[in-house]
Structure 1
């Protein structure tokens, strides 16, 4: 007579059909509660790795892709000439392929290559897969792989040091997922997109207000925004092969048209120009005097919402980049890929948290309004300066030394306060719209998940 499993209370049993690999942690922790109403099929049955290599040429322009986490989609990061690309051996992607980041898979960085990125390039940190369209709609797969449960699986199927967990390709391809008929997949995707479309309409309203905020700020300090640039182009058209720059605006002698245009435009403001280094840039060293701490990393900051979370960690497992303390009212500036606008004013709930060395901290001061500086840093005038000073290929960043060189218009404090007060009214409208868009996304996600879990 066979004994029941309860007799072996210290043993765990796994069916042979589910024995994807010999990792005990993976087998114990990676049980995704997929529905049984659809057949479960291994991902490798409909995805095939594509490694179309390309050697970057210095005189050719290339489209580079970026993947937003948690079903944020795949977008054009930039178009850049090959001489500016440090990693010369990369890979080509095509429209309709399935793409993921092996680093950020644990954060839901999956998606389908859009038409505008056909022929784009990626580094080895991304994986490209050809899709068997007779079996799967890649957009259905993108929705499935960005659910919380699948993201948790990717965390378990990844290894490496803190913030560098790499997804293991065999584990990813071996996982079984529910595969409805193509007609059912298409229906699920259409239902999801119908709700998301309402959210997208709200996003358009949000972007309109953000543009209004930028235009208002620039006009308030006496800069004519993009119209000024167009006027400059018209005035210079008779000298179409020449570019004129004031000697006082030259910071370096190599040609960088965009940077010089921005510098010239900044000097049209009716207020003094200062450098970011004139603010109170500080580094409050973190002393490890407790067992736990709350950590704000780069991923904890979102462009519109600021700091969204602080993970509580054991001090003995602190990341090497956990180095400094932040205080309520500080402005923190993400210096890695600053064009992502990882900037935030620290609210009271994150007072005395530890933050990454990837942030530059500016302390509050009675001589300036940090909210004014925060809003200015979101304008193209500041972002273009960040990009001018960035160095590095895989993780472009601006050094603290160069950050101090960024030019900032400096109105009197009472003018800064008035500008911030007006912008705050517009931002309250933005926050209300963000909540509406978030609700739409949550509804769409829950409806999809009820079908597959």
Structure 2
């Protein structure tokens, strides 16, 4: 029986990095110490057709690219579904997108998607358990060695390459005896379990760190109060932003040790705050500019930076370029809005930042910038980002300078701040080491699997 909730199903896909056919150029045949057999020997296409009824509710799935797996996309009434003749899927089946298979759009149908419906653009297959272990098959299909096979089995023009089912089913893959497959997967899962345990340890350490910091600052979660009335009142003096979600929904935190202040209410905290400039990009330029992707939550990743025109860059005043202890904040866009990072490395000094980012320079005699960034990225800071963000006419979510200055934190005297900041730095270092060790086990599991299957 297929266990679609296995460690492999839930973690493998999230660890696949940049699964992109374009990185492979030379078609090479698969080599393996095991017998090569047709994929079609292990899987059988299912076309369980059904008619969509207007008054019934239906689940629909999505198959993410880059080996992202299969998920329930939504649940809708039949009357809202235009294509009435569809197919239903079962948990444990192999699901493939005929359009995006070459980009890693395949995976196992999870239990929560059992009975979901699909159009003809998605294919599902039963996997014969006597011939192939489903986890083995997914690992094989997502391996670097197999990437070229998806390209070989896809035809079309431009970006619209469709998987040709006959070619796919006739493609030969290493299929050792099922007992050997199970042994290989067992070894893989042992390494994966080590990685999972390390990730869980890191997550628990992050929770403990947040609790310690919040306790030190007297930040407490309010007890939820249930109102029996449909009509609620609020004091005008407590209103900070218009909107039902910003007025009727109570702010969930209370400050019980130190009074909460913002950059607006305590101007001495703030030295300077700037919005970035709209860049003039130039391919292969000598200067780079930070963008939202570079801001990874207290971590600047320059691989996402773009190059800009030298003359354009030279017109930016030096005092507006990044300096040590500056804070960069993403000020625009859902998903990345509110991320904050501290400039703490020389390689991140002297950089420009685009118009979707803010640069905040605090008074170091009153504020420890690392603690400020930690609190800004915490649920306390991010809840306030949600409260104060606004939607422009373009529907692009915006935080903005004035709203950033309204976010409140309970900060003690500087000496206490520095003590808490040192604790954060020490614990964050340990958390980072755990994540690194987990990544090493993920990579080792993948490498050892491919070494066991292919002649490397």
Shorter-normalised TM range: 0.5 to 0.7
Aligned partner of 1:426 in structure 2 is 427
Give the structure 2 partner of residue 133 of structure 1.
128
Instruction: Quote the residue 1:271 is aligned against.
Output: 260
Q: 1:195 to 1:251 in 2, by over 3 A?
A: same
* Contact preservation (8 Å) 1:206, 1:434: yes
- CA apart distance, 1:95: 2.9
What TM-score, normalized by structure 1, do the two folds share?
A: 0.62
Structure 1 residue runs of 5 or longer lacking an equivalent are 1-24, 316-324
Q: Which residue of 2 aligns with 1:39?
A: 36
User: Out of 221, 224, 227, which is 1:232 matched to?
Assistant: 224
- Give 1:382 deviation, angstroms: 4.4
Equivalent position SS for 1:263? coil
* Cα distance change, pair 218–401 in 1 and its aligned pair in 2 (3 A): same
Matched, 1:400 2:394: no
Q: 2:275 aligns to what?
A: 282
Following the alignment from structure 2 to structure 1, what is the Cα–Cα distance between the partners of residues 390 and 95? 27
C-alpha separation between the residues in 1 aligned to 2:356 and 2:72?
Answer: 27
Go from structure 1 to structure 2 and tell me whether the alpha carbon gap of 1:381 and 1:103 turns closer, same or farther (over 3 Å shift): farther
Match of 1:5 in 2: none
Structure-2-length-normalised TM-score: 0.62
What count of residue pairs does the alignment treat as equivalent? 392
Query: What CA distance in whole angstroms lies between the structure 2 residues aligned with 1:109 and 1:342?
Result: 29
Equivalent position to 2:241, from 237, 244, 251: 251
Q: 1:65, 1:120 within 8 Å by CA — same for their partners in 2?
A: no
Alignment of 1:183-202 (within 5 A): 183-202=179-198
How do 1:61-100 and structure 2 match up within 5 A?
95-98=91-94
Closer, same or farther in 2 for the Cα pair 1:302/1:177, shift >3 Å? farther
**Cα distance 1:50–1:102, how it changes in 2: closer, same or farther (>3 A)?**
same
Deviations 1:28-85 (A, max 9, x none): 6343644252314347972648799999x9x98989878595x6766789xx8979xx
Change (3 A) 1:112 1:242: farther
SS at match of 2:279: coil
Aligned-partner Cα distance in 1 for 2:118–2:371? 37
Coordinate RMSD, CA, aligned: 5.6
The counterpart of 1:204, out of the listed 200, 204, 215, is: 200
CA 1:43–1:305 in structure 2 vs 1: closer, same or farther (change >3 Å)? farther
Question: CA 1:373–1:45 in 2, change beyond 3 Å: closer, same or farther?
Answer: farther
Gap regions ≥5 residues in structure 2: 1-21, 265-269, 310-319
Cα distance change, pair 249–82 in 1 and its aligned pair in 2 (3 A): farther
Tell which deviates more after alignment, 293-302 or 108-117.
293-302
For residue 335 of structure 2, what is the aligned residue in structure 1?
338
Distance 1:188 1:340 in 2: 43
Please state how far the C-alpha of 1:184 moved relative to its aligned partner. 2.9
Cα offsets for 1:147-173 (capped at 9, x unmatched): 334457768979999xxx777433894
User: Hey, what's the Cα distance between the residues in 2 that align with 1:108 and 1:280?
Assistant: 43
* Distance (Å, rounded) in 2 between the aligned partners of 1:340 and 1:104: 29
| In 2, Cα distance between equivalents of 1:48 and 1:385 | 50
Residue 206 of structure 1 and its aligned partner are, at CA, apart by: 0.6
Q: Could you say which residue in structure 2 is the equivalent of 1:3?
A: none
Aligned counterpart in structure 2 of residue 219 of structure 1, from 215, 218, 221: 215
Question: What's the CA shift string for 1:7-32, capped at 9, x where partnerless?
Answer: xxxxxxxxxxxxxxxxxx99963436
Deviations 1:290-347 (A, max 9, x none): 63567877777766865284488899xxxxxxxxx98465535395552799765454
